Amino acid sequence: MAAHQESFRQRYLTRPLLDWVRSVLPAMSETEREALAAGTVWFDAELMRGNPDFSKLLDMPIPRLSDEEQAFLDGPVEELCRVIDDWQITFAERDIPKAIWDFVKAQGFLGLIIPREYGGKGFSSTANSEIVMKIASRGPSAAVTVIVPNSLGPGELLMLFGTDKQKSHWLPRLADGREIPAFGLTSLDAGSDAASMTDHAIVAWGEVNGKKTLGMRINWSKRYISLGPICTVLGLAFKLTDPDHILGDEEDLGITLALIPTTTKGVSIGRRHYPGMQAFPNGPNTGTDVFVPMDWIIGGQDRIGQGWRMLVTALAAGRGVMLPAMSVAGMKVAAFSTGAYGRIREQFNLPVSRFEGVQEAAARIASDTYKIDAARRLTLAALDAGEKPAVLTAVMKYHATEAMRRATNDAMDVHSGKAVIDGPRNYLSSAYRAIPIAITVEGANIMTRSLMIYGQGSIRCHPFIQEEIDAAQMADDDEAVEAFDKLLYRHAGYTFMTLLRAAWRGWTFGLLARAPVEGREAPHYRQIKRLSAALAIVSEFSMVTMGGALKRKEMISARLGDILSHLYLACAALKRFADTGRPAEDWPLCDHAVRTSLNAADEALKEVIDNFPMRLVGWYLRLKVQPFGVVCSKPRDRLAQRVSDTISEPTAARDRLTQGIYVAADIELGKLDHAFRLMAELEPVKAVMRKARVRSVDEARRQGLITGNEAARLTEAMELVREVSKVDDFSPEELTGRKPAARKSRAA
């Protein structure tokens, strides 16, 4: 073969640049590389590349539920919600009652994601999200029993990687609840850095049914495992070695996943943790010298060492479904109850929802609910269209759970004592206690924000970086120079165009960027374009100037991730507004949601520039992309008040916002809603009394301010208000557990 002829450019420019790239590339473990490669990119790439094509967003159809999915939601899900009693579960029984387990199994709740050919429901991600959202609105513990089997775990791993034999054995049994699954990854030493687990196995010969069998001898000690204490089959991650070289020359074979029936000799399950006072089964488990045959490896012997890749692939999509559904449920309950309670609870002779301090909190709840629910729907649409957007599902995991935390905190504050005192009448405190669970699982939030969102987004969404890294890692140097050379000049062109675009939009306040629609939404689209271009170029400069060190500069990368996330959330809110026919009543919600996110993105951009490690570059970037500082301001107070009003009055916008949670006349939320609607109806009567400074209904009647009929209705409504404002109290014996406490509370 002819020797490679290097051009002048390749020798004096490309090769030195390639050497430099190699020197600044972050050191990456195999597991990090696999995590980075998981899933697909979608609209996140548009936002990261600086010139989003909004038609890709606006043309994405929002999936509708099939008749069967809707019937399941209206039938078994409603029925399950009717019987769930969160106080009974978390306080009295500290366990999921058998009746609920039986119902859940019989109705196929454990096989929502399992294909129909294996006896499951084969529902869409959208349907699964709606189902979990409704159940979670009745209490987190019951929801987790449905979430765990239908998210990352044995079922999903089998569907993606199982052998035909494994699928036909396990999937029907998982779908109908004959088997209860759990997945054990986390151990004492390995939490966020799960790949550093010390749980290990060696390839060994053993005996199964009297026959000499090739397999693995496994020792493990896992903790925090959901459904672990009651599971019948445990999916297990461990590191496999072959010290006796039974399989070949290689000794360290890597992370491997197996399915282990918990009746296997040496397996110990049963002890429980008590996470956030939630009663779903969660606990540690161990295995001592457990011998399992090779064909218990998920996907069979060929999948030895592929465990990490299998896990991150499954997680890439899964993160976008269950936790966002649970979070949105919490937010909708917060919006529904805070609007109503703020309206009926009077202090200083006024509904507390009239006080600006309360309005500020209510507006945050309502606009976040609108936005996160919009992003939930949009991400589900992408998943149902076959995408596995790993970056966006991480965005959803982080922002949905954080928004739920904010909304629940605000709701607790507005309800004050009513939310603090625990008991069957309290519809907020259980979710409040459960929030740290959602924050922690599937990638604890600090790490998700600081490391994962931008870390993965910057490389996966970039038009050239991944290919350049691949080129830099080629074994043949000449081939590497050739490949790198081709990419380099396209990359330089992209950077130049992005810089021009970012500067142009920065200096013109984004006003000249093209929006996909006319009217009041248009300025928001323009700001998204301005900030997207700024993100693309600041990201480019960050990677070039910091190289591998950017991985350790988490405060910078977290903020770059915030810009991407908030642009996505703003897009989702605008798309929701368009998809729902642009109802005028919803505009304050959408407008407030978008403004909040654009302000957060603009502030994050400023903070990145303010803290840019190379100060000269920071000044240069400020001059180019943010010459006038933060342009997108927070929503004005008047807008916040209008948003607060949408949930503090019985509006159609409130109904749309909180659609999908369980509300019935005989539960606390239903009673609250009834009192709220009555009081809203009687507002003109109350206004007359307020104006006359008369508080007593009898006095108002005596003075002829209101009619007899109005007085009767007001008295009835005020009695309902007093009833729903009550909290529980208990005898000391009930609290110490010496007598069953459930439903023995009195109200005060």
Ligand X SMILES: Cc1cc2nc3c(=O)[nH]c(=O)nc-3n(C[C@H](O)[C@H](O)[C@H](O)COP(=O)(O)OP(=O)(O)OC[C@H]3O[C@@H](n4cnc5c(N)ncnc54)[C@H](O)[C@@H]3O)c2cc1C
- Chain residues in the site for ligand X (CB under 6 A): 183-186, 191-192, 224-226, 275, 282, 437, 440-441, 444, 446-447, 450-451, 554
Shortest spacing between CB 569 and ligand X, in angstroms: 21
Rounded to an integer, what distance in angstroms lies between the CA atom of residue 139 and that of residue 253?
A: 42
DSSP 10: I
Give the integer Cα–Cα distance in Å for 532 and 47.
Answer: 5
CB nearer ligand X, residue 395 or residue 680: 395
- Least CB distance to ligand X at residue 100 (A): 19
Task: Judge contact between 534 and 502, C-beta under 8 A.
Answer: yes
The minimum distance between CB 537 and ligand X, in angstroms, equals 25
Look at the alpha carbons of 477, 479, 480, 486 in this order and tell me if their dihedral is positive or negative.
positive
Query: How does DSSP assign 586-615, residue by residue?
Result: GHHHHHHHHHHHHHHHHHHHHHHHHT-SSH
134 neighbors 84 (Cβ within 8 angstroms): no
Query: What residue type is 742 in one-letter code?
Result: A
CA quadruple 223, 229, 234, 235: dihedral sign: negative
Least distance CB 545 / ligand X (angstroms): 21
For residue 612 the two structure tokens come to: 């840019």
Task: Give the Å distances, CA to CA, from 433 to 430, 578, 672, 724.
Answer: 5, 36, 22, 22
Residue (139 or 184) nearer to ligand X, CB: 184
* 440 or 651: CB nearest ligand X: 440
Name the residue nearer to ligand X (CB basis): 124 or 448.
448
When the beta carbons of 330 and 339 are compared against ligand X, the nearer one is 330
Residues designated as active site:
442
Closest contact distance (angstroms) between CB of 190 and ligand X is: 8
**What residue number has its CB nearest to ligand X?**
191
Structure tokens at 216: 């693995």
Contact 300, 294 (CB under 8 A): yes
Secondary structure letter of residue 12 according to DSSP: I
Least CB distance to ligand X at residue 192 (A): 3
Indicate the residue among 29 and 347 with the shorter CB distance to ligand X: 29
* Amino acid code (one letter) for 644: S
With respect to ligand X, which residue has the nearer C-beta, 39 or 561? 561
What is the 8-class DSSP label of residue 229? G
Q: How far is the CB of 273 from ligand X (least distance, A)?
A: 7
* Residue among 187 and 539 whose Cβ is closer to ligand X: 187
Give the nearest distance from C-beta 553 to ligand X in angstroms.
11
Measure the CA–CA gap between 649 and 659, rounded to whole angstroms. 15
Q: Kindly state the smallest distance separating residue 259's Cβ from ligand X, in Å.
A: 14
Are 137 and 431 in contact by the 8 Å Cβ rule? The answer is no
Q: E strands of 111-160, at which residues?
A: none
Identify which of residues 185 and 255 has a Cβ nearer to ligand X in the complex. Answer: 185
Q: Which two tokens stand for residue 456?
A: 């993965």
CB 289 → ligand X: shortest distance, Å?
Answer: 21
Residues with Cβ within 8 Å of residue 363, at least 6 apart in sequence: 592, 635, 639, 640, 641, 643, 644
H/E segment holding residue 238: strand 233-241
Question: Rounded CA gap, 15 and 6, in Å?
Answer: 10
Residue among 239 and 501 whose Cβ is closer to ligand X? 239
Q: Which is nearer to ligand X, 118 or 220 (CB)?
A: 220
294 Cβ neighbours under 8 A, 6+ residues apart: 213, 214, 215, 216, 300, 301
Contact 380/129 with Cβ under 8 angstroms? yes
Q: Determine contact, residues 359/644, Cβ cutoff 8 Å.
A: yes
H-state helical runs in 246-321: 307-318
425 phi and psi, to 5 degrees? -85, -10
What one-letter code names the amino acid at 408?
T
**Cβ–Cβ contacts within 10 Å for residue 718, how many?**
18
- Taking the complex as a whole, the smallest distance from the CB of residue 554 to ligand X amounts, in Å, to 6
What phi-psi label fits residue 128: left (phi over 0), alpha (psi between -120 and 50 degrees) or beta? alpha
Nearest distance from residue 255's CB to ligand X, in Å? 13
223 membership: H or E segment, kind and range: strand 211-226
Nearer to ligand X (CB atom), residue 226 or residue 262: 226
- Lookup: tokens for 562: 């915030």
- State whether the Cα torsion 662-665-668-672 is positive or negative: positive
List the beta strands (DSSP E) in 242-320: 252-261, 267-268, 282-293
Q: Is the separation of the CB atoms in 541 and 550 below 8 Å?
A: no
CB of 372 to ligand X, least distance (A): 21
The H or E element that residue 362 is part of is helix 356-384
* Other beta carbons less than 10 A from residue 296's beta carbon: 19
C-alpha closest to that of 113 among 173, 159, 76: 159
Residue with smaller CB distance to ligand X, 322 or 647? 322
Q: Which of 436, 452, 471 is nearest to 551 (CA)?
A: 452
Parallel, antiparallel or unpaired: strands 746-747 and 233-241:
unpaired
